[in-house]
Structure 1
Amino acid sequence: ELIKELFTIAHYDSSNAISLNDALEECLSRLYIDLIENPNINDLKYIDTITDNMPKDFKISLAQRHIRVCLDLHNSDTKTAFAKFTTWINEGVDDIQFTKVLYDKLFKDYEEESVSYLFKLSTQENFNQWKFYFILLQTISSKCAHESSSFIRKYFKTRLSQIAAFPKREDMLHLLLSVRAATATTMDIDQNITAYGNWYKQNISDMKFVFKVEEFKSIVDLLDQCIPYEDVEDYLEIHATFSISPLVHCGKLVQSFRSKCKLHLAKIKSKKRGDAESIVIDSD
């Protein structure tokens, strides 16, 4: 009851909210750091106590608080986020359990609100909390209802249109990473890659049916700018091999983009072969 009272005061009593919120979020952060190391030390039943008979606005605010705390657990730059994407997704699926419990106890009843808040925080300038953004988005996407899946797909479509109108590299990087996390919904890696490929085909390969010439050029140019960030063969392979139907006078632009993708892909494969050979030599 004391825990519930503290969270209730933090939500409703503005005069005490700042210092109390800081203290509560520090406690949650320490708990989750411990849970990463030892998933069995706490079953998060405190959430059941806090939310019992509480109104919707309180529960949504509580979910948002937990999202903020989770995101703050790890920071990285965008380049690292691309390089570590698969590792972090696998860690979230196989090793980190508390995020799944948070979904069941907090996010499940407010999926769209939770995802919207995730997107809102992750599109802020200088966002660097990629690891748990991936893990939370993947967790919600893999468990959510059909309506929420449609909501996420609609967000990505709207986001792409916004980027076409107001092109910015950071926004395209965010979109590519977000789609990858949201399509990594099964234990089958190949199936997840295929799901990303389907999104790419529907939204990038066929975008000439949606965008005007300048918008089309902006998207291809941004994708081109994102190539140096790519570090995972499977996703870059999609960009390199999937054709993009060009608008008039855009054929060379598309061809140049795909050629650069293939060149970067070859460099990644060459580096991996070199690393593998180095390991063999060292072991000898």
Structure 2
Amino acid sequence: MVATTIVPPNDPQSPRWLLDLQEWRTVPYTDVQQEILDGEGYGIVSYTWGYIADDGKPASDPPEGLLWDVPAVQGWTLAEARQVMQSVGTRYIWWDWMCVPQSGERMRPWDEKLDLGKVQGEEIAKQMHIYKHAKKSIVWLHATLWERESPIKDLLLLCVKDEEDREEQENERPAELQKHTNSVMSLLKHAHETERWTRSGWTLQEGVLLHETELVDRRGCRLPGKHFWYGDQATVGDLTVPITRLAWEIAIAYFIKSQGYEPDVGSPIPKRTHAFARLP
């Protein structure tokens, strides 16, 4: 199929193109049947790839209908990524490589008549609307395999027991909490180092919009668990829960230590904060 040379008109609320995973081709958003959009809708994927771009080379076996080349990356092929995208669960997805004009030193030059630079800017500018209207989504942590130990997996599975469950003596609890705090910070540091999605500026914005989105690993597998915030699979929100809870408790502990009494926060103060307040 020869790529069409017509760029669909811009709609500030909707993407210009979607990728048809079944047919492996990009199609104008307006060509997708309305009953599909009203039903399963389209999905989106958040991931980071710039740091492994393969010297501006184009990827092999791109979908049909593109007006630009898809960038190649080191570590996995486009065919492997295509398999992961099936885990989104929709036929049509918004995938930046296929739906936002791409360029690279060794990639096909843009057709000047199509003004793809302007098109690129317009598609990026409405990303919030594109994410908001998507019915399904995944965050692809392609540097991680759930079957193996990793800092990000440990961070997700981290669970602090309530003080009632602790066997330590009263005077040992502050030391244990200090140890726990150091452990959380160490896990966070190593998660940043090993999984770039956790520290990319682009994905930070996407993560805010996708806090209930499930995390998938390199192979498109989800991480199951009974204690996760939004269900039985790890989500973006679960990455922040241990850190947010710890920061909140430390802030309350600082108030108690400096003022000598508990602040009114509208909910019961965890007993653990008093142990934090006893730390030097």
TM (norm. structure 1) is: 0.26
Q: Which has the higher contact order (CA 8 A, sep 6+)?
A: 2
TM (norm. structure 2) is: 0.26
Higher helix share: 1
